[in-house]
Amino acid sequence: MKLLFKGAQIIDPANGVNMVGDLLVENGKIKAVDKEINLDKAEIIDLTGKILCPGFIDMHVHLREPGFEYKEDITTGSRAAAAGGFTTICCMPNTSPVIDNGAVASFVRDRGKRTGLVNVLPIGSITKKQAGNELSPVAEMVTAGCIAISDDGKPVMRGDIMRNALEYAKMFDLPVLAHCEDLNLSRDGQMHEGYYSTIYGLKGIPAAAEEVMVARDIILAGLTGGRLHICHVSTSGTLELIRQARQEGIRVTCEVTPHHLILTDQAVGSYDADTKVNPPLRSLEHVQALREALQEGLIDAIATDHAPHQFEEKDCEYNLAMSGISGLETAVALIMDCLVIPGYLDIEQMVKAFTCGPAAILGLKQGRLDIGAPADITVIDPEIVKSVDPAQFNSKGKNTPFKGMNLKGWPCLTMVGGRIVARDGQIMG
């Protein structure tokens, strides 16, 4: 089967491509990319005015399966990813049981292959049961398909354990994805510590709660030579620590979420628990620093930290609510509408942060339009305007602070392995 995409703006940062042209898919693989391709026998899809990119990668999602299928499962999470323009998603290990051994990792990987519309890759836990006291069997998890290790959702408080994790992971050239939070500084906090936490009467979480752990982990990465990745950066101080570390040759990368790029702590004034996230929404100066760091390339990837919750877990008092946003289906439109279209972020930088940026961190072959590679493709229509309606989400999680927002620039086609899995927001097949 031959499928010819015509007239798209093709953006492939990994190969230095930004042109109006055509792309040919044959037998599930990319056959050709050129300014003009003409064939007599091919199904043609006109993409004039649209943006064609390598399939987007979300390196930080919570699919909840096994154990918390009432919040999300691999099937619904995959559907949400496809509708949101993602072709590869990497799922965090805070399941029940935890992804801390080869058996659970294999279950997630196999379940993704059987039921998922997109590529589902497991991330193993750093410590057994995410308890922070004993390393998980890394070699066993790597053999089962894990592409990184993380105790995301729980910081590794013991420095000796984090040092050992970096040293052990280095043997496999595996990144350690760190949730940087000093629980002694953040305990019982509900939002960013500052002016608005005082006004709203909620206990604050200081920026230092993130930064002191980032500093510790960077020092340990320098000591061990391991690969450190900082999850969901949220403060200007964290960015400066990363900048300095890179100047010293320490192997450190980082990601940012759409909600930390767009919302400030002022949004918590609605007391809508959908604004409760960890790390918390920060003040305007931190948001501005994150935007500038993304544009300059200091931040390597945009990741959703997709965290679906049951309705009752959010429909309660702010201090009792679970943290997290259901983000797979809105991430691309949020970045397009709030950052790219207004001119805060170049479209090439956005595509890089969703494709070859995370691919390089995780050692993936995806994230580029190479000839002969599986046809994983994301197409964006920069003119589509839609309102965020959680009731229409494919995800079981309807928890989003962006509900009701009109956004411009949505994914309109998602292809995985040469098969169109979503079109105009609708799942195909």
pLDDT tens per residue across span 387-404: 999 999 999 999 999 999
Mean pLDDT of 151-163: 96
Backbone phi, then psi, for 362, in 5-degree steps? Answer: -95, -5
Count of beta carbons in the 10 Å neighbourhood of residue 426: 10
What pLDDT is recorded for position 142? 98
CA distance 217 to 159: 8
Q: Which pair of structure tokens corresponds to residue 359? A: 């691919």
Q: Are strands 191-192 and 204-205 parallel, antiparallel or unpaired?
A: parallel
**368 is a domain residue:** no
Of 340, 362, 384, the position where a domain reaches its end is 362
Do 400 and 292 lie in a common domain? no
Same domain, 116 and 227: yes
Q: Is 268 part of a structural domain of the chain?
A: yes
The pLDDT of residue 115 is: 83
Residue 148 lies in a domain: yes
164: Cβ contacts below 8 Å, ≥ 6 apart: 135
For the residues 197-214, what does the mean pLDDT come to?
98
Regarding whether 392 and 295 lie in a shared domain, the answer is no
Residue 127, SS3 per DSSP: strand
The answer on 60 and 48 residing in a single domain is: no
* CATH number assigned to the domain comprising residue 412: 2.30.40.10
Residues of the chain by 3-state class (helix, strand, coil), percent to 5: 35, 25, 40
How far apart are alpha carbons 216 and 163 in whole angstroms? 10
Domain check: are 27 and 61 in the same one?
no
281-295 per-position pLDDT tens digit: 999 999 999 999 999
pLDDT of 410 over the 80 cut: yes
Assess if residue 369 is contained within a domain.
no
Residues β-bridged to residue 286: none
Q: Does a structural domain hold residue 61?
A: yes
What is the overall mean pLDDT for the chain? 97
Q: Check if the beta carbon of residue 58 is closer than 8 Å to that of residue 335.
A: no
Contact (Cβ atoms closer than 8 angstroms) between residue 261 and residue 304:
no
In a domain, 367, yes or no: no
160 and 110, same domain (yes or no): yes
> Is the domain of 265 the same as that of 395?
no
- Together in a domain, 65 and 41: no
pLDDT at res. 116: 74
Backbone torsions φ then ψ of 406, nearest 5 degrees: -90, 120
Residue 164 has pLDDT above 80, yes or no: yes
**Mean pLDDT, to the nearest integer, of 250-270?**
98
**What's the CA gap between 303 and 299, in Å, rounded?**
11
Structure confidence at residue 40 (pLDDT): 82
pLDDT score recorded for residue 39:
87
Query: How many domains does the structure of the chain reveal?
Result: 2
What pLDDT was estimated at residue 420? 97
295: left (phi over 0), alpha (psi -120 to 50) or beta: alpha
Each residue's pLDDT tens digit, 332-390: 999 999 999 999 999 999 999 999 999 999 999 999 999 999 999 999 999 999 999 99
Instruction: Specify burial of residue 109 (Cβ count, 10 A radius: 0-12, 13-18, 19+).
Output: buried
Same domain flag for 145 and 254: yes
Active-site residues, by number, are 305
CB within 8 Å of 407: residues ≥ 6 apart? 330, 333, 334, 336, 337, 338, 385, 386, 387, 388
Q: Which of 308, 340, 362 is the last residue of a domain?
A: 362
Domain final residue pick, 312, 337, 362: 362
State pTM to two decimals: 0.97
- Cα distances from 390 to residues 10, 22, 149, 277, 393, in angstroms, run 30, 35, 31, 18, 5
Tens-place pLDDT, residues 57-85 = 999 999 999 999 999 999 999 999 999 99
Q: What percent of the chain has pLDDT over 90?
A: 97
CATH code of residue 161: 3.20.20.140
Distances (CA, A) of 13 to 19, 140, 363: 11, 34, 16
Listed as own residue / partner, the contacts of 191-197 with beta carbons closer than 8 Å and 24 or more positions apart are 191/265, 191/268, 191/276, 191/280, 191/281, 192/265, 192/280, 192/281, 192/282, 192/283, 192/286, 194/265, 194/283, 195/283, 196/265, 196/266, 196/268, 196/269, 196/283, 197/265
pLDDT at 37 over 90: yes
Question: Does 62 lie in the same domain as 43?
Answer: no
**Please, which pLDDT band fits residue 41 given cuts at 50, 70 and 90?**
confident
310 within some domain: yes
**Domain span at residue 116?**
56-362
Distance, CA of 173 to CA of 159 (rounded, Å): 20
Residues 242 and 170 in one domain: yes
* Same-domain pairing of 226 and 314: yes
Long-range contacts of 139-144 (CB under 8 A, 24+ apart): 139/172, 140/101, 140/102, 141/99, 141/100, 141/101, 141/102, 141/105, 142/172, 142/174, 143/102, 144/102, 144/103, 144/105, 144/106, 144/109
For residue 235, give Cα distances in angstroms to 18, 179, 228, 278: 32, 13, 17, 12
Report, as an integer, the average pLDDT of 106-116: 92
pLDDT at 3 over 80: yes
